[in-house]
Amino acid sequence: MFKDDEQSESYFLRRRKEGIASVVEDPVQPEVVWEQTEKDVEAEKKRKKVTSPGFSFSAAGLLFPYHLGVAKLLIEKGYIKETTPLAGSSAGAIVCAVVASGASMQEALDATKILAQDCRLKGTAFRLGAVLREVLEKFLPDDAHIRCNGRVRVAVTQILWRPRGLLVDQFDSREDLINAVFTSSFIPGYLAPRPATFFRNRLCIDGGLTLFMPPTSAAQTVRVCAFPAGRLGLQGIGISPDRNPENRATPRQLLNWALEPAEDDILDKLFELGYADAAVWAQENPVEDIVRDDNSSFGSSLVQ
């Protein structure tokens, strides 16, 4: 992104004046820069223990059940623990909040079916945002923000003279967490009938615009993509449909299911596909070989 050290230093100094304490170049797409506020950085410093690798979940639209299936396998097999850093954009941010809240993935799948049924009956475009917020209000526990602080990174896209990514991992309240997740999912003109939304007095939209999969704070990050990563030209992806020859969902099917709420049997299928794809990855990456305690932060390397 930066042509020389002087330009990089100038950029960082400007961000410091705006309350940005950390500027991180993404390891998969170096042209993308993620920024953290001072309180976000302080929250990470207060963490007593970190389990590496962390897991980053992609933007996925309404393919949310796929991520839930992946998370179920990772939790069952011991890859995701209470100390495991998480990060996500859009649907990926939702699943991170759900995992950190301590809810079961089956409960989250049931809540997803309620959202899907509402949208099938009354429409999706311009309504999805209100329905999503209502489901989050009912589903997330009162202390969800406390559980997420310093552990979960939610990516949003701030709109100024150009879109830029902003990482949020310190939440003042449960409502602040819900606002962050809502903003991360804000597809312009789709989630609600307006081109953008305000988050902490910043004009923002969907976090997936600047990057599908933000880095976690662990020394290593496994990236989870709900779409066939190879066909999208994405590199360094750990878990995705094209890692599993038994995953027969076509890109067209996935795109359709991402934009419009599928029937409950399809949501169950997505859940099962995510679980199966994660199982293939787990066979290649035994938990005893890669999970370890690690107090490093601002991870850049990948487990593939």
pLDDT tens readout for residues 100-158: 999 999 999 999 999 999 888 887 777 788 889 999 999 999 999 999 998 999 999 98
Task: Given the residues 206, 240, 277, 297, select the one marked as catalytic.
Answer: 206
Mean pLDDT, rounded, of the chain: 83
pLDDT band at 33 (very low <50, low <70, confident <90, very high): low
State residue 301's pLDDT score.
Answer: 41
State residue 2's pLDDT score.
Answer: 41
Task: Given the residues 22, 56, 90, 101, select the one marked as catalytic.
Answer: 90
Examine the pLDDT at 297 and tell me if it is beyond 60.
Answer: no
pTM for the whole thing?
0.84
**Residue 66 contacts residue 274 (beta carbons within 8 Å):** yes
How many angstroms separate the CA atoms of 100 and 295, rounded? Answer: 19
Q: Which domains does the chain have, with CATH numbers?
A: 21-283 (3.40.1090)
pLDDT digits (tens, 9 = 90+) for 153-177: 999 998 877 778 888 988 999 999 9
Q: Which residue has the tokens 């009956």?
A: 121
Listed range (41-45, 69-73, 201-205) with the worst mean pLDDT: 41-45
State residue 302's pLDDT score.
Answer: 44
Q: Has 206 been annotated as catalytic? A: yes
**Residue 40 contacts residue 169 (beta carbons within 8 Å):** yes
**End-to-end alpha carbon distance in the chain:** 25
Examine the pLDDT at 191 and tell me if it is beyond 70.
Answer: yes
Listed range (20-24, 49-53, 171-175) with the worst mean pLDDT: 20-24
Single out the residue of 245, 252, 248, 249 nearest to residue 279, CA to CA. 245
Q: Which helix (H) or strand (E) holds 64?
A: helix 64-76
Higher per-residue pLDDT: 32 or 176: 176
